């Protein structure tokens, strides 16, 4: 077994154990990237054709109350989780966590990329792939395009849950909301970006990294639904877009032999 193979915890190509996994596997495999893209489209179609899924999940967190006599309306109530200060504090911490990790990750990648040690240079390129994913997906696609132009009102703003605007199914663009709209969730998009960091860890730490990343991402997304800030489709599609973008970038970099340092 070669020294490089020992460092990365994989066997050489001619080993009886088979060829080593490509860097950033499984995300750097073209088939995975294609599958994630198709899964994202399938989610969009499902929630667009079956909007009752969004309404049903949102209703779990909405507490209906009698409307006041001086302001009668068809529906009155609130998403009571918004009144929980502990949950609000957790949301604030998780909101800034991905960016607070992306910045030092990029800073660490600069000296690592100039190192004479191969595994450090490889880490630097993987880190830059992850940083590129958070810039392209949550920043550009989600917050720069979809949230600004989709026009989908948030659950708390829809008449089904005591708001003023009608419910809009996922994927249908309207002009009800002018900016920072519900489709899709920026916080879910950045929250699930934490999963893109998992393959950067040494193999022995990845199971724990998967548990931590998924727990934080699911908590972030769940709180957005509980607060009436997003529908289930918003958080699932926000997550899917980010993971797909990361996988597509990793597969492209592998195809261009960028990880062969």
pLDDT block averages, 10 residues each, the chain of length 261: 41 48 96 98 98 98 89 86 97 96 97 96 98 98 97 97 96 96 98 98 97 98 98 98 98 97 90
Query: Which pLDDT score is estimated for 73?
Result: 74
Residues 121 and 224: their CA atoms lie apart, in Å, by 37
212, 180 contact by CB (below 8 A): no
Record the tokens describing residue 19, joined without a space: 């060829």
- Inside any domain, residue 5: no
What pTM value is reported for the model? 0.91
Q: Which residues, other chains included, contact 33 with Cβ-Cβ below 8 Å and sequence gap of 6+? A: 27, 244, 247, 248, 250, 251
- 17 is a domain residue: no
Distance CA(238)–CA(21), nearest Å, equals 28
Q: What is the pLDDT of residue 10?
A: 40
Are the beta carbons of 256 and 125 closer than 8 angstroms?
Answer: no
Is residue 23 one of the residues assigned to a domain? no
Alpha carbons 39 and 34: distance in angstroms, whole number: 9
Q: Which structural domain, as residue segments, surrounds residue 65?
A: 30-255
Question: How many domains in the chain?
Answer: 1
Q: Which pLDDT belongs to residue 19? A: 64
Q: What is the pLDDT of residue 58?
A: 98
In a domain, 69, yes or no: yes
Residue 2 placed within a domain: no
Residue 13 belongs to some domain of the structure: no
Asked if the structure places residue 138 within a domain, the reply is yes
Residue 193 covered by a domain: yes
């Amino acid at each position: 077994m070669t020294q490089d193979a020992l460092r990365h915890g994989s066997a050489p190509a001619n080993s009886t154990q088979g060829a080593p996994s490509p860097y950033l596997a499984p995300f750097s495999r073209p088939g995975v990237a294609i599958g994630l893209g198709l899964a994202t489209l399938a989610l969009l179609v499902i929630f667009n054709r079956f909007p009752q899924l969004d309404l049903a999940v949102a209703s779990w967190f909405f507490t209906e109350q009698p409307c006041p006599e001086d302001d009668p309306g068809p529906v009155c109530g609130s998403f009571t989780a918004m009144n929980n200060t502990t949950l609000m504090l957790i949301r604030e911490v998780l909101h800034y966590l991905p960016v607070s990790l992306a910045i030092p990750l990029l800073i660490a990648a600069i000296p690592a990329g100039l190192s004479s040690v191969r595994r450090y240079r490889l880490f630097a390129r993987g880190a830059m792939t992850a940083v590129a994913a958070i810039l392209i997906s949550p920043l550009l696609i989600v917050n720069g395009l979809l949230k600004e132009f989709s026009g989908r009102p948030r659950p708390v703003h829809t008449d089904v849950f005591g708001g003023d605007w009608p419910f809009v199914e996922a994927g249908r663009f309207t002009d009800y909301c002018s900016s920072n709209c519900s489709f899709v969730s920026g916080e879910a998009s950045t929250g699930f970006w934490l999963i893109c960091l998992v393959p950067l860890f040494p193999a022995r730490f990845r199971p724990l990294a998967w548990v931590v990343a998924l727990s934080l991402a699911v908590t972030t997304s769940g709180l957005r639904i509980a607060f009436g800030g997003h529908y289930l489709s918003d958080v699932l599609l926000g997550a899917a877009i980010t993971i797909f973008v990361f996988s597509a970038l990793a597969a492209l970099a592998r195809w261009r032999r960028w990880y062969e340092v």
